[in-house]
Homo-oligomer: A and B are copies of this chain.
Amino acid sequence: MSENPVLAEVTRGDLVESVHRGSAVVATADGKVIAGWGDVNRLIYPRSSNKILQAIPLVETGAADRYNLDQHELALACASHMGETIHVERVRAWLGRVGLSETDLECGSHWPYSEASTIALAKSGSVPTPAHNNCSGKHSGFVTTAVHMGDDVRGYVGYDHPVQKRVTQTMSEMLDVDLFNQPWGTDGCGIPTIALPLVNLATAMARCADPSKLSPKRKDAVERLVAAKAAAPVMVSGTGDFTTEIMVVAGGSVVCKIGAEGMFTAILRKKGLGLALKVDDGTARGAEAALGAILKSVGALSDEEMEGLSQQLTRAIRNRAGLQVGELRGAPIGKVAGF
């Protein structure tokens, strides 16, 4: 793999202790690259950073309207949530309206990403169920679409299941990539994650920021999903999380999503641009700090928003006693001209 630039760094005392390299790209809805760092054409697995694209069929098929999904639930369909009560209860209620339950979800179970929720769950003598899985909202969207379209719900995670084929077709259109002919792997929650060039992911995100050239139906679906994420950031991630805080402080002008293995995407609504990045080492902290660096570099945040996000953009690293001993921050990549 070719060398990509340092996008984020971790300090301790006076030294930079660790660095995160990666590639990042900001593009227009026409696929024009506005700014790029490193190899922007590299094949990446988008992982969960593309959840908003995977949720389009839920709205476009009419499934969301049939089951009266509100903005909190549409946001959950695009979420990697922290397994807090607000997420888990909402997933259960939603599935109940569709006539299903979490036993129909094929995402598997894991302890909540939220440490507080894990401790509370363990204290209560319970164990995690599929509703606690960070992907349970996305999977609820899949099974809701399956029921609405008359598919057999079972096996909906499979590459050849109508639910996934619908997602793959929709994403191919949004990405300008024929995903049916791309290499793929299996994501943590069991569904396919299909390889694509990073720049195309930025283009698809730009089409979420500026859907003016999409078909009216696609435009409506995308606008509703973007608006839902902007309206309910805590449903997309969780209390106090980086992704949530970016969306809260940016007042919905930046709608973003982390993905496993160092992925991050952002929809820059005010600018009509899309952003995609991957840190080579696959770390969440690297992806988060890199996102901050790129957002600053392309002027996606106002001075006031940067001030409000100062604790997220430069994060204190503390020892067990709470003393600050270093920081996680975006690398000094400078300001891109023209922004």
A41 at interface (Cβ–Cβ under 8 A)?
no
Residues of B near A122 (CB, < 8 A) are 118-119, 122-123
Interface string of A274-307 (1 = CB under 8 A from B): 0000011111001000000000000000000000
**Interface flag for A144 (CB, 8 Å):** no
Measured as residues with beta carbon below 8 angstroms from the partner, the interface class of chain A is 35 or more
Contacts of A133 in B (CB 8 A): 320
Q: A1-B6, A123-B122, A283-B283 are in contact. Are A186 and B13 (CB under 8 A)?
A: yes
Contact check: which of B19, B43, B123, B319 meets A281 at CB < 8 Å? Answer: B19
**How many copies of this chain sit in the oligomeric assembly?**
2
Question: Is chain A's binding surface mostly helix, strand, loop or mixed?
Answer: loop
A36 contacts which chain B residues (CB < 8 A)? none
A19–B111 Cα distance when bound, in Å, is 27
Q: How far is the CA of A19 from the CA of B44 in the complex (A)?
A: 12
Q: A43-B15, A282-B17 are in contact. Are A319 and B123 (CB under 8 A)?
A: no
Q: With the chains together, A326 CA to B3 CA distance in Å? A: 23
Q: Can you name 8 A-B residue pairings with CB atoms under 8 Å? A: A10-B282, A15-B43, A122-B122, A186-B319, A186-B325, A188-B320, A190-B319, A190-B323
